C-alpha cells in the first residue's frame, strides 16, 4: 500500500513537471553560450495560447539579443547583467495545443504563426506560450517552415514601406539590401502596393531579385546608386551601410528614407541624426522599429494566399544547430531567411 502511494506521488510530480527541449542562454556572448537543455513546459495564462512549435526562423534580432548589441539591449526589461528571457526565437509557426480561458480567436488544433519578440521570444523550443494578440492563423498555402520565415521580416518591410514610407502606387521605390530576409519581402510588398521597384543587391542575387518582381536591379559591387543621379520617392534600407547623409541626393524633394537594418553605426546615425536632417528640404530620414501585431499578420496572410508575396528560404537547421544558424546570419550574407525545424 505504501509503495502504491509513493508511485502515485511520483506520477503527479511528473505530470506537473513536463519537460521539453529548448535552446537556452543565461548570459550574453557568442553563439557558443547557447545550449540544448530540458526546461519546464509552459502553462498558458488566461490570454495566451500554448503552441507546439513546428518551426522558427532566425533574425538579426536573435544575435543582437544574444550579444547585447547595441548596448541598449541591456536596458530591456531589466536585463542589464543577464538576459531577461532565456530562450531566443521570435518568429514562430506551429499548432495550438491549449488556450487560456480568455482566448477568443484560437482553439486547440489551429495552425498559427507570429512574432513573439515583445513578450520574450521563446521559439527555439518545442513549446511556447504566447499572447493571442500577436499571432494569426497560418496562411493555408504555406508549410510551417515557410510560415515561420514570415512574421518579423515581412512586418518590418510592410510597416517600413506603408507606415513610414507612405508608399503610393506608381512611386519609385528603392530597396537597399534586397536579397536578405527583410529585403526579399520588401521587394514583393512594394510591387504588391503598386510601386516601381529598384532592388540593390550583390551579383549572385540579381536573378533572385528579378524573380521577386523588381523592375530594375542594381549590382552594388559595380555601381553606387547614391552616385547615379536617380531620385526615389521612398528608399528602404534593409542594409544601411551608406552614411545617412549620402541618401539625401537620391531622394525626391519630398522623398522618405527608412532604415530597417544595417550596421550599428548606421543605426545610430539614423536614430540620432535622422530627425535633424529631415528638417531640411522636406525630405524624411529615420530608423524603424517594427511592432508585432495580429492585424498586420492577417494583412500579410492575404497577400500570401493570393500569391502576391512568398517567403524565400535559403537554409534549414534542426533545433540543436541553432548556434550554427545564428553564426551564419551574423555574417550578413543570407539570401532570404534561415529556418529552424523543430517538430516536423
Instruction: Render pLDDT for 146-169 as a digit per residue (tens, 0 to 9).
Output: 999 999 999 999 999 999 999 999
Q: What is the pLDDT of residues 172-196, one digit of tens each?
A: 999 999 999 999 999 999 999 999 9
Give which of 54, 39, 25 is closest to 340, Cα–Cα: 54
Phi and psi, residue 130, nearest 5°: -135, 155
Distance CA 117, CA 232 (A): 32
Assigned CATH for 152-287: 3.40.50.720
Contact 63, 139 (CB under 8 A): no
Q: How far is CA 194 from CA 28, 171, 229, in A?
A: 43, 8, 23
3-state secondary structure of 175: strand
> Which residues is 127 bridged to in the sheet?
52
Q: Which of the pair, 15 or 342, is modelled with greater confidence?
A: 342
Q: Which of the pair, 108 or 243, is modelled with greater confidence?
A: 108
Q: What is the model's pLDDT at position 3?
A: 40
- 217 burial type by CB count under 10 A (0-12 exposed, 13-18 middle, 19+ buried): buried
Asked if the model's pLDDT at residue 276 lies above 60, the reply is: no
Read off the pLDDT of each residue in 266-289 and give the average, rounded to a whole number.
51
Phi and psi, residue 332, nearest 5°: 80, 20
E strand spans, 79-195: 91-99, 111-115, 127-131, 135-137, 172-176
> Which residues is 338 bridged to in the sheet?
58, 315
Q: What is the model's pLDDT at position 125?
A: 98
pTM reported for the whole predicted model: 0.89
Asked if the model's pLDDT at residue 2 lies above 50, the reply is: no
Between 67-71, 126-130, 305-309, 340-344, the lowest mean confidence (pLDDT) is in: 67-71
Contact 26, 86 (CB under 8 A): yes
Class of domain 20-150+312-341: alpha beta
Give which of 178, 204, 202 is closest to 189, Cα–Cα: 178
Place of cell 497560418: 138
Most confident of 237-246, 251-260, 269-278: 251-260
Asked if the model's pLDDT at residue 307 lies above 80, the reply is: yes
Count the residues in the chain.
344
Average pLDDT over the chain, rounded to whole? 88
Read off the pLDDT of each residue in 265-270 and give the average, rounded to a whole number.
49
Question: 270: how many CB neighbours lie within 10 A of its CB?
Answer: 24
Phi and psi, residue 166, nearest 5°: 50, 45
CATH 3.40.50.720, the chain: domain bounds: 152-287
CATH 3.90.180.10, the chain: domain bounds: 20-150+312-341
Q: What is the model's pLDDT at position 333?
A: 85
Read off the pLDDT of each residue in 260-277 and give the average, rounded to a whole number.
51
Within 8 A by CB and 6+ apart from 41, the residues are 18, 19, 20, 127
The percentage of residues in the chain with a pLDDT greater than 70, rounded to a whole number, is 85
Q: How far is CA 102 from CA 122, 130, 131, 133, 292, in A?
A: 22, 13, 11, 12, 20
Structural Rg of the chain based on CA atoms: 21
Q: What is the model's pLDDT at position 81?
A: 80
Between 1-15, 32-46, 48-62, 110-124, the lowest mean confidence (pLDDT) is in: 1-15
Asked if the model's pLDDT at residue 217 lies above 80, the reply is: yes
Asked if the model's pLDDT at residue 271 lies above 60, the reply is: no
Amino acid at each position: 500500500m505504501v509503495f502504491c502511494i509513493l508511485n502515485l506521488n511520483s506520477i503527479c510530480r511528473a505530470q506537473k513537471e513536463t519537460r521539453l527541449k529548448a535552446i537556452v542562454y543565461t548570459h550574453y556572448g557568442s553563439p557558443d553560450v547557447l545550449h540544448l537543455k530540458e526546461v519546464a513546459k509552459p502553462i498558458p495564462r488566461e490570454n495566451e495560447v500554448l503552441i507546439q512549435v513546428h518551426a522558427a526562423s532566425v533574425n538579426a534580432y536573435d544575435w543582437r539579443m544574444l550579444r547585447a548589441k547595441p548596448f541598449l539591449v541591456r536596458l530591456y526589461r531589466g536585463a542589464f547583467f543577464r538576459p531577461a528571457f532565456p530562450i531566443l526565437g521570435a518568429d514562430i509557426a506551429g499548432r495550438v495545443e491549449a488556450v487560456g480561458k480568455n482566448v477568443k480567436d484560437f482553439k486547440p488544433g489551429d495552425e498559427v504563426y507570429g512574432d513573439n519578440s515583445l513578450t520574450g521570444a521563446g521559439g527555439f523550443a518545442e513549446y511556447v506560450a504566447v499572447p493571442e494578440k500577436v499571432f494569426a492563423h497560418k496562411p493555408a498555402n504555406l508549410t510551417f517552415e515557410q510560415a515561420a520565415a514570415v512574421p518579423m521580416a515581412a512586418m518590418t518591410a510592410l510597416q517600413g514601406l506603408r507606415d513610414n514610407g507612405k508608399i503610393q502606387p506608381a512611386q519609385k521605390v528603392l530597396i537597399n539590401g534586397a536579397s536578405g530576409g527583410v529585403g526579399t519581402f520588401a521587394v514583393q510588398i512594394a510591387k504588391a502596393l503598386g510601386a516601381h521597384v529598384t532592388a540593390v543587391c550583390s551579383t549572385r542575387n540579381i536573378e533572385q531579385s528579378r524573380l521577386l518582381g523588381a523592375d530594375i536591379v542594381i549590382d552594388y559591387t559595380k555601381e553606387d546608386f547614391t552616385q547615379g543621379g536617380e531620385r526615389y520617392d521612398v528608399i528602404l534600407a534593409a542594409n544601411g551601410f551608406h552614411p545617412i547623409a549620402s541618401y539625401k541626393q537620391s531622394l525626391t524633394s519630398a522623398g522618405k528614407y527608412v532604415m530597417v537594418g544595417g550596421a550599428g553605426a548606421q543605426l545610430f546615425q539614423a536614430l540620432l541624426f535622422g530627425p535633424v536632417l529631415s528638417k531640411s528640404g522636406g525630405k524624411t530620414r529615420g530608423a524603424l522599429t517594427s511592432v508585432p501585431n495580429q492585424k498586420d499578420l492577417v494583412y500579410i496572410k492575404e497577400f500570401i494566399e493570393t500569391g502576391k508575396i512568398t517567403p524565400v528560404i535559403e537554409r534549414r537547421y534542426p533545433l540543436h544547430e541553432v548556434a550554427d544558424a545564428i553564426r551564419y546570419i551574423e555574417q550578413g550574407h543570407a539570401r532570404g531567411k534561415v529556418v529552424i525545424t523543430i517538430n516536423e
